[in-house]
Amino acid sequence: MIIKHAENRNQDIEELTALLALPYVDEPTKRKIKTEIRKIRAGMAGEKEAAYHIDFHFGNPSKNWAVIHDFRVEYEGRVAQIDHLLLNRTMEIYICESKNFNEGFAINENGEFSYLYEGKTYGMPSPIEQNERHRLLLKKMFDDGEIAVPTRLGLRMKPAFYHLILIGNSAQIHRPQNGKNVKYLDRIIKSEQVRKRVEKDIDEVSIAGSLAVMKTISRETLYEFAEYLASFHRPSKYNWKARFGISEPAALHVPPVQAAPQPQPQNSAPQAAPPSPPAQTEPPVQTVPAQAAPDTQQAAAAQKRYFCADCRKSVSENAARYCWSRKALFQNRIYCFDCQKKYR
């Protein structure tokens, strides 16, 4: 089942294209903007191709999987932008990073990545390390209790995380001859191979099948948890002018034109100025001392503390928003993830 689709980035492309039309933007900056537009379009194409195969196998026809596309979380000053998330009923979570290389890319024995563009080779950050950072941040949110997990037979479910790097089907992948030192090299696959890779993982853990049954949550719980997890999404906001150091040109200062003095008639006697009105005496203004304002940090911290209406456990802001968005179901009250099940 598809919980969240990818967000459209056409507005970013329109804003960047508008920057190219500004007459005061220099050529080096325009080249950087064009590169950014190309990256956005390539990313959209790669995510679209990967999303097609993911949705085909794990989307709405499937009741045992939940899909979240374009998932961005913020926690403790760090950000994870995850292209695709796959969740199943045994709390196996696949963190998928999609890449689109028209001319292919290569990996050497040290795990260094490079890609081809117009016949030239360029270095690039490792998508494996990028995905690992996403996994660590998401895992920390689970470990810290920021994201509450479902329970089964009174025990908290412990999620298992898997990496997948999904490459465009038409791209060439040049793997190293000796890739023993490259971690997760076997997790780099074509988008069309996603189902086979997941099935292989399931077969490898099927030995503990009896334990897997005990760890399986219901389809309803999977859907509710996936919706709850998607509520942690925080969309990105770009200030493209600041990103590329573009500022409005300073306006030219034009001194105001002074009017010529008007000639005065010579024979006319000077007129006396009208008498000034008598000064009005007013009572002095009484100043009331301002009361000391409460500590803003403590007030902000108090506003962010939420508690379950049943068990009185601390509830995250995302869980509170989840309940507020379903006022009819929870009667405008806040509940933790476990207590929410009583009212569904």
CA 92 to chain centre: 21
For the stretch 54-95, pLDDT in tens is 999 998 878 899 999 999 999 999 999 999 999 999 999 999
Q: Give 183-218 pLDDT, tens digit per residue.
A: 899 999 999 999 999 999 988 876 555 555 567 899
Side by side, the strands of the sheet bearing 92-99 are 2-4, 65-75, 78-88, 92-99, 160-167, 188-190
Q: How are the residues of the chain apportioned to helix, strand and coil, as percentages rounded to the nearest 5?
A: 40, 20, 45
**Extents of the domains making up the chain:** 2-243, 303-344
Instruction: Give mean pLDDT, residues 113-123.
Output: 89
Are 174 and 107 in contact by the 8 Å Cβ rule? The answer is yes
Predicted local confidence at residue 226, as pLDDT: 94
Q: What is the pLDDT of residue 253?
A: 55
pLDDT at 261: 61
Cβ-based burial of 105 (10 A; exposed 0-12, middle 13-18, buried ≥19): buried
Mean pLDDT of all residues in 268-293: 44
Band (178; pLDDT cuts 50, 70, 90): confident
